[in-house]
Amino acid sequence: MADGHKVNHDYHIIDPSPWPLIGSIGALLMAVGGVGYMRWLREESFDIGVVNLATPWIFVIGLVIVLYTMFAWWSDTVKESHQGHHTRVVSMHLRYGMILFIASEVMFFVAWFWAFFDASLFPAEVHQVMRTEFTGGQWPPKGIEVLDPWHLPLFNTIILLLSGTTVTWAHHALLHNERGMLKAMLAITVALGILFSCVQAYEYAEAPFTFHDSIYGATFFMATGFHGFHVLVGTIFLLICLFRAMAGHFTPQKHFGFEAAAWYWHFVDVVWLFLFCAIYVWASWGATMAH
């Protein structure tokens, strides 16, 4: 009987899981709740049938469900790895999935770069009346003082480049089974990620323009703000890897969880370099600097 149940292939047939359904319900609540939350902020109603959904709580409930689903689902994935289900074929497919995810993130940021360059390269020529009203026929728009790219933005660039170095060092230490160095470099990477977020928060607080006062502010905060969100996600990702390393997880032969976090962090680094060169340096050329 035991031989009849023996698995003779490298594929993992996953046990029935509630997390796809629960996660989908949470995402739906977040989508509907997000609309209701914005209506609530504007003191408007959001009626579906006879129910007014203009409240922040539906979004909060959906967010809690999604976060718990992420925790539980990924915990199950880690358990499956420890049980030996992540064979060579399964590991390869996990890598393909992470590559496709990062590719989708690249296209996400392409959209924000597209919006930025569309507004900055053609401030008056395209849709002339509307663009001139928004920008004054120039870029940055008239009356906008831009941030000095060689101050805090350059400091944050150095921080991220250093963090890319330390996470690569941690990967090298893992491949050579140097557990102490792995944990030390991961801790430094997490600290650098937190420092980057703190510096960007300070920069936002001191920025001489706001999200809603011009198209410059809107494109600036959307592009850099979403990048900041990705830095926060990547920092949490690496922090979990640090906790797992301290718990004895990862081996030189089997460490896809760490590898995925390192890929994601390098992606964040590269996007920031493009943001720094385009939005901070190029777009501030000849503009009035705010100090």
Express each pLDDT in 210-239 by its tens digit: 888 788 899 999 999 999 999 999 999 999
Helix (H, G, I), strand (E, B) or coil at 208: coil
The residue assigned the tokens 């933005």 is 153
**Is residue 269 within 8 Å of 160, Cβ to Cβ?**
yes
d(C-alpha 192, C-alpha 188), whole Å: 6
> Do 22 and 161 belong to one domain?
no
d(C-alpha 224, C-alpha 291), whole Å: 19
Which residues does residue 52 pair with via DSSP β-bridges, in sequence order? 47
> Do 98 and 229 belong to one domain?
yes
**Dihedral pair phi/psi, residue 37, rounded to 5°:** -65, -45
> Do 235 and 92 belong to one domain?
yes
Alpha helices in 6-121 (DSSP H): 19-41, 57-82, 88-121
**Is residue 261 within 8 Å of 100, Cβ to Cβ?**
no
> Do 283 and 164 belong to one domain?
yes
Helix (H, G, I), strand (E, B) or coil at 142: coil
> Do 152 and 35 belong to one domain?
no
> Do 117 and 157 belong to one domain?
yes
> Do 256 and 147 belong to one domain?
yes
Which residues does residue 48 pair with via DSSP β-bridges, in sequence order? 51
Judged against a pLDDT cut of 80, whether residue 291 lies above it is answered with no
* 85, 116, 133 - which closes a domain: 85
> Do 103 and 71 belong to one domain?
no
pLDDT in tens, 148-188: 999 999 999 999 999 999 999 999 999 999 999 999 999 99
* 55, 85, 115 - which closes a domain: 85
> Do 117 and 77 belong to one domain?
no
pLDDT in tens, 85-131: 888 888 899 999 999 999 999 999 999 999 999 888 876 554 544 55
* 59, 85, 111 - which closes a domain: 85
**For residue 58, which amino acid is it?**
I
> Do 193 and 271 belong to one domain?
yes
> Do 114 and 65 belong to one domain?
no
Helix (H, G, I), strand (E, B) or coil at 194: helix
> Do 79 and 204 belong to one domain?
no
**For residue 289, which amino acid is it?**
M
Q: Per the structure, how many domains does the chain have? A: 2
d(C-alpha 244, C-alpha 284), whole Å: 43
Cα–Cα separations (whole angstroms), residue 123 to 107, 126, 132, 136: 24, 7, 7, 8
Query: Span 63-70, mean pLDDT?
Result: 96
In this prediction the pTM is 0.87
> What tokens does 256 get?
């896809």
Which residues does residue 47 pair with via DSSP β-bridges, in sequence order? 52
Q: Can you give the residue range of the structural domain that contains 224?
A: 87-290
Residue 123 confidence (pLDDT): 62
pLDDT in tens, 11-39: 878 788 999 999 999 999 999 999 999 99
d(C-alpha 105, C-alpha 89), whole Å: 25
Q: Which residue has the higher pLDDT, 259 or 287?
A: 259
Quick one: pLDDT band at residue 1, thresholds 50, 70, 90? very low
